[in-house]
Structure 1
């Protein structure tokens, strides 16, 4: 069937003309949606008449060949990343093979004709992502999946911090654990700490400064003013309140930390500029460049505008003249507030120093993975990134998910998408910078909603999510760059591939060495039986649950369904069917535990008669430990038998998301006999399950 001009334009821009719904039926995208998305997209470089694209990516042993457009003869020069030069002549319209051997990395190809010249970045990448030697050798490792903000300890200031992370690493290593998996540590909003979702960040390149362990900061320890403030009754009262609160009190914690760090900053400024720490800070600022400078400026300006409650949503709520980092008003503010900018840069430096220290300690402890970070799918509309680089983001659209059974209007996550055409025009540098920022100082990177490498569901501004469409991304190029940076930074990659994921991306991920995520609750076969431990794929991480799903005890006791009903999340009497489904799931899981030998043969066979007990909890953990997945991630909430979730998808104000703390301090957790018995079982099962290569 011949396509009309609208469909042709949509396809050329990467907009899908249809999608497969939750029932497996093909749904057409409306013409209105196509027009709306075409209107918000950047023009796919129509004005450029370069003989070659701005970037060419080659993976593995693929043929490194290009065909220049135009006419006549060009002079070419290739400068490799290491500075070696090659040159010659080529003819337009004929295949041109790059000179070899060309090593993995980033190279610059320049074509010239007369006074004109054009540049193309050549990226040569390995086919598969990095894998730590221990996993390459067939070993199976386990670790803790921790929402860092939920951690209680005797030392922290009411929120988990990098000092707690270091303590966690030590205690896990003593018990045979190999890593701590973390929530996104991306920069949020210090001036509006209540905006606490780690998945709606201000920047994915910088850290959340609330995780700084202030007690470790030398300038806080050495400042007389800081110590006087610290010892005051008012400070200690606020600190005790924040520590003892059942939920993270972000406002109090941030106020305490900023007050302390202001004192520490004043002391830091008295140091000799040639001494080690000021020298290290100055190098950090130089390396961070404009990205760091305007992240710091954004935090400073937000704090200055904090008194106006109407402007707490970030730059979209600011006066027009302040909505872009390049505006004269913003530039004038920056010139007048260089010391304030330096303060916020210093906080980023402190956060990076402490996190780097945790990574170094994990390696000294002999951990193979050590730390793994989580990369959110995007940034919020009112973020520092969109303020500083609005051309990269399509601000009149947001990403989400198409309609499904529980969300008939789909999901709108409020995150403006990166424009794939702009990414390509910039030779993927924004993507490369983001990977480098998140792969440093860790052994693994989890990519949330990994399907975003292939496609994202774009929703035009002002529309409900059912009025969206999928927009394609250059998946092969992005996977190749992911593999290259993975090897360079010795950081393995885990893809969050839960839910409905097209087979196309599943196959590409496996071939690229990206680990799959296998959550116990979802690992049921067509006949409802749970997948046997030996049938889990080696190239995966297994877990009981995630931050978006019920805890192990919550699942068994069906507390998540009761909570969802209370919050009005289920239409009509849908919850009745969900309870029936859960009863069947519990029985199937209990059957799987018996078949795998995780429970004694004489123990209860009927799930409806079995409450969650330490023995059942240990059996489920034993089952998970026996899986053939190379990695196993366990949640402290499940060690402790906690029932309340940390996040309930689909809620905003109805539930206190991202605030629920662990029920015990770290000191209490690792002194708990039941917890230690459980972790001993897990470690023994993992060590006995090494796969011979």
Structure 2
């Protein structure tokens, strides 16, 4: 293959050639990795003739498609479409019929030749043209459908259809924030919450309690870990960032006792007969979430409740039946596929077969639309309905928790976190395999957080397929995650621009950047943000081009600023007063140690025990750097009078005390970021991290609970005072 052909193909598929790394240095993507990815995408680059045939077929297919699958506009843009046709049809009359979301109909008559000729191509002796047609039509914001008809010899023939998306200029921003108000809130891992009443894992009733009490302390939002559906049949696959479906909610957060029929005689008899209360006491007392134990007792109880619910409500003409039916209809194929997938997993598990994901399903079940899967869904209809019921109840309880936060006076309320992808065995991939490239994984090139690079085991979406599917999977993701949410945090927001693709058998550093249609994706994000009145926060850490930061800002997306990463070249830490106003600031994240852990180097010592670091030399370098960073932090805190003079200015004499801990939090509260997120772990002065990047079984990631029950936290005078201090500083920052 000639270099010109290779370069053209690389550009056509949006494959990167170079980038600026996390340290600001130019980096080159190897041609070997580019070619390997092209093979994975189905291009026979070692066979020039076969490749030529394939490229010709793709080009012909594109030229012979009268319309693109989707057109995306911003409010105020001129309504112009690319139209392709043969030269013989260019002068024929055509009709574009547009049906808006509100069912308004527009009929636009034209001849392609009246437009601007952009390009021509000869195919099998016939000339094809591409025209740009402009129409005097203003469409409302939303998703509209259009059909193209050719009118010839008195006949009307439909030749194409497309989706038209009209989006606002930027994402939603609450008026109070636009006017300069600055808020603080908590970032929590929902499963970590302890209470006197939950079933061994934080649930939506705990979340309501947290929101109401945090609001009384002055907090204006609660930020959650991704609450996406994981794997009910495999509870220990518990990473919220490796879900089975990002569109649906993890059933484990349902408060079983709040469901209709929980108090029924049948359910109560079952609970008593199985000594469930004793089991729950044991689960509550554990310091680490016992996902196996919690899942077993919750699912068993939910099945008992569902039997009664089905009899009392779903078999009759009731309000509950109507609401459930509407929910199922709105969930469509996505919900139906998830429910079947989960039912299949449980059946395989009961039969003693492999069940972790669709790649190990029996051959007849590997395709979601196979005859065997349809027969399974019909035969086990009640089980499939049960898994839909779990989603119905999970969404209802989340909606109620969100309402509780707003009713308590929170200005933002709950915000959700959208994971960057789904795991390779997921229901989401099983239901739409054409969209995903399963031979590769999303990751990150070497950066500060991961010096060797990262590979997350999450197959990426194929950007070309995403366009072919008219962006519907992305629309559904944004819409479902913004529902009843005051804000949405997008993990690894660079996914809107590009993703680091790494072959499953390669090291993380041997990846390739693949570009995505960033302007279209941001437009859809803005549309869903405005529709759901949901502010958007983009996690823009790591290897981030400045151009995308500017683009995110223009689109109303809030940046994500972590104190420990905000350092000048001389090692000093920037004052939070210099952070962008359009940002959310934080001290630490779920992938970092707590404040105590950081200060006492617990993360480095734990990493040494777990074999995370390649050798002692690297580890010693990290210890030395940490010592210097801590001194620089002390210098910053004292320089801004954020901590008392009773705390030494010499890091060799300073441990992480409550005074230093609270001082750091109050220091951040004086900053210019519109939002300040603080971890509940640091309020409780906890030392153990919730997650250690780069580990799997070496550490119980995503299981560590809080050290105190929620009821205790909000009865403490010192924490109430901290809340008051933070609120007062945020108000001062609002008016500075």
TM-score by length of 2: 0.90
Task: Summarize deviations over 1:441-492 as a string: whole Å, max 9, x none.
Answer: 1110000000000001112233232332111100011001100110011111
Distance in structure 2 (CA, Å) of the matches to 1:454 and 1:3: 26
Question: In the TM superposition, what is the alpha-carbon distance from 1:686 to its structure 2 partner?
Answer: 1.2
Q: 1:21 to 1:367 in 2, by over 3 A?
A: closer
Q: Is 1:228–2:269 an aligned residue pair?
A: yes
**1:119 alignment partner in structure 2:** 161
Q: Secondary structure at the residue paired with 1:467?
A: coil
1:626-641 matches, within 5 Å, as: 626-641=670-685
Question: In the TM superposition, what is the alpha-carbon distance from 1:601 to its structure 2 partner?
Answer: 4.0
Distance in structure 2 (CA, Å) of the matches to 1:67 and 1:188: 41
**1:85 alignment partner in structure 2:** 106
C-alpha contact 2:227 2:417 (8 A) present in aligned 1:
yes
1:533-572 matches, within 5 Å, as: 533-572=576-615
Question: In the TM superposition, what is the alpha-carbon distance from 1:69 to its structure 2 partner?
Answer: 2.9
Stretch moving more, 164-173 or 300-309: 300-309
Unaligned runs of 5+ in 1: none
**2:492 alignment partner in structure 1:** 449
Question: In the TM superposition, what is the alpha-carbon distance from 1:307 to its structure 2 partner?
Answer: 3.7
Question: In the TM superposition, what is the alpha-carbon distance from 1:60 to its structure 2 partner?
Answer: 4.4
Distance in structure 2 (CA, Å) of the matches to 1:369 and 1:405: 31
C-alpha contact 2:79 2:138 (8 A) present in aligned 1:
no
**1:56 alignment partner in structure 2:** 71
Given the alignment, which residue of 225, 243, 259 partners 1:183? Answer: 225
Q: Secondary structure at the residue paired with 1:459?
A: strand
Distance in structure 1 (CA, Å) of the matches to 2:301 and 2:308: 11
Unaligned runs of 5+ in 2: 44-54, 118-130
Given the alignment, which residue of 598, 601, 604 partners 2:642? Answer: 598
Given the alignment, which residue of 137, 144, 164 partners 1:100? Answer: 137
1:297-446 matches, within 5 Å, as: 297-307=340-350, 311-404=354-447, 409-446=452-489
Aligned length: 690
Stretch moving more, 450-459 or 317-326: 317-326
Distance in structure 1 (CA, Å) of the matches to 2:367 and 2:505: 22
Q: Secondary structure at the residue paired with 1:379?
A: coil
C-alpha contact 2:163 2:470 (8 A) present in aligned 1:
yes
Cα RMSD between the aligned structures?
Answer: 1.9
Q: Secondary structure at the residue paired with 1:85?
A: strand
**1:678 alignment partner in structure 2:** 722
C-alpha contact 2:95 2:107 (8 A) present in aligned 1:
no
Distance in structure 2 (CA, Å) of the matches to 1:36 and 1:408: 24
Q: 1:10 to 1:372 in 2, by over 3 A?
A: same
Distance in structure 2 (CA, Å) of the matches to 1:531 and 1:22: 18
Q: Is 1:167–2:209 an aligned residue pair?
A: yes
Distance in structure 2 (CA, Å) of the matches to 1:621 and 1:379: 34
Stretch moving more, 191-200 or 3-12: 3-12
Which structure would you say has the larger Rg?
2
Question: In the TM superposition, what is the alpha-carbon distance from 1:237 to its structure 2 partner?
Answer: 2.5
Given the alignment, which residue of 332, 337, 360 partners 1:289? Answer: 332
C-alpha contact 2:449 2:542 (8 A) present in aligned 1:
no
Q: 1:440 to 1:278 in 2, by over 3 A?
A: same
Question: In the TM superposition, what is the alpha-carbon distance from 1:26 to its structure 2 partner?
Answer: 4.1
C-alpha contact 1:18 1:469 (8 A) present in aligned 2:
no
Distance in structure 2 (CA, Å) of the matches to 1:178 and 1:118: 49
Q: 1:585 to 1:25 in 2, by over 3 A?
A: closer
Q: 1:530 to 1:467 in 2, by over 3 A?
A: closer
Distance in structure 1 (CA, Å) of the matches to 2:444 and 2:283: 36
Q: 1:365 to 1:405 in 2, by over 3 A?
A: closer
Question: In the TM superposition, what is the alpha-carbon distance from 1:159 to its structure 2 partner?
Answer: 0.4
**1:208 alignment partner in structure 2:** 250
Question: In the TM superposition, what is the alpha-carbon distance from 1:39 to its structure 2 partner?
Answer: 2.9
Q: 1:522 to 1:25 in 2, by over 3 A?
A: closer
Distance in structure 2 (CA, Å) of the matches to 1:634 and 1:443: 17
Question: In the TM superposition, what is the alpha-carbon distance from 1:96 to its structure 2 partner?
Answer: 2.0
Q: Is 1:11–2:11 an aligned residue pair?
A: yes
Distance in structure 2 (CA, Å) of the matches to 1:399 and 1:584: 33
Q: 1:656 to 1:372 in 2, by over 3 A?
A: same
**1:469 alignment partner in structure 2:** 512
Distance in structure 2 (CA, Å) of the matches to 1:155 and 1:42: 54
Question: In the TM superposition, what is the alpha-carbon distance from 1:404 to its structure 2 partner?
Answer: 4.4
C-alpha contact 1:533 1:596 (8 A) present in aligned 2:
no
Q: 1:405 to 1:551 in 2, by over 3 A?
A: closer
C-alpha contact 1:90 1:96 (8 A) present in aligned 2:
no
C-alpha contact 1:271 1:278 (8 A) present in aligned 2:
no
Distance in structure 2 (CA, Å) of the matches to 1:494 and 1:23: 24
Distance in structure 1 (CA, Å) of the matches to 2:619 and 2:225: 30
Question: In the TM superposition, what is the alpha-carbon distance from 1:380 to its structure 2 partner?
Answer: 0.7
Task: Summarize deviations over 1:586-627 as a string: whole Å, max 9, x none.
Answer: 111111111222123454211221111111111111101111
Q: 1:24 to 1:140 in 2, by over 3 A?
A: closer
C-alpha contact 2:647 2:654 (8 A) present in aligned 1:
no
C-alpha contact 1:557 1:612 (8 A) present in aligned 2:
yes
Q: Is 1:259–2:306 an aligned residue pair?
A: no
Q: Is 1:134–2:179 an aligned residue pair?
A: no
Q: Secondary structure at the residue paired with 1:268?
A: helix
Question: In the TM superposition, what is the alpha-carbon distance from 1:28 to its structure 2 partner?
Answer: 3.8
Distance in structure 2 (CA, Å) of the matches to 1:598 and 1:382: 49
Stretch moving more, 2-11 or 339-348: 2-11
Distance in structure 2 (CA, Å) of the matches to 1:226 and 1:637: 36
**2:526 alignment partner in structure 1:** 483
Question: In the TM superposition, what is the alpha-carbon distance from 1:366 to its structure 2 partner?
Answer: 2.3
Task: Summarize deviations over 1:374-398 as a string: whole Å, max 9, x none.
Answer: 0000011100111111111111221
Distance in structure 2 (CA, Å) of the matches to 1:408 and 1:607: 27
Distance in structure 2 (CA, Å) of the matches to 1:424 and 1:207: 26
Question: In the TM superposition, what is the alpha-carbon distance from 1:531 to its structure 2 partner?
Answer: 1.2
Given the alignment, which residue of 641, 649, 662 partners 1:618? Answer: 662
Distance in structure 2 (CA, Å) of the matches to 1:475 and 1:198: 25
Distance in structure 2 (CA, Å) of the matches to 1:33 and 1:557: 41
Question: In the TM superposition, what is the alpha-carbon distance from 1:233 to its structure 2 partner?
Answer: 6.4
C-alpha contact 2:66 2:159 (8 A) present in aligned 1:
no
Stretch moving more, 396-405 or 434-443: 396-405
Task: Summarize deviations over 1:287-317 as a string: whole Å, max 9, x none.
Answer: 1111111111111111111146661321111
Q: 1:108 to 1:330 in 2, by over 3 A?
A: closer
Stretch moving more, 609-618 or 47-56: 47-56
Q: Secondary structure at the residue paired with 1:69?
A: strand
Q: 1:544 to 1:504 in 2, by over 3 A?
A: same
Distance in structure 1 (CA, Å) of the matches to 2:411 and 2:137: 35
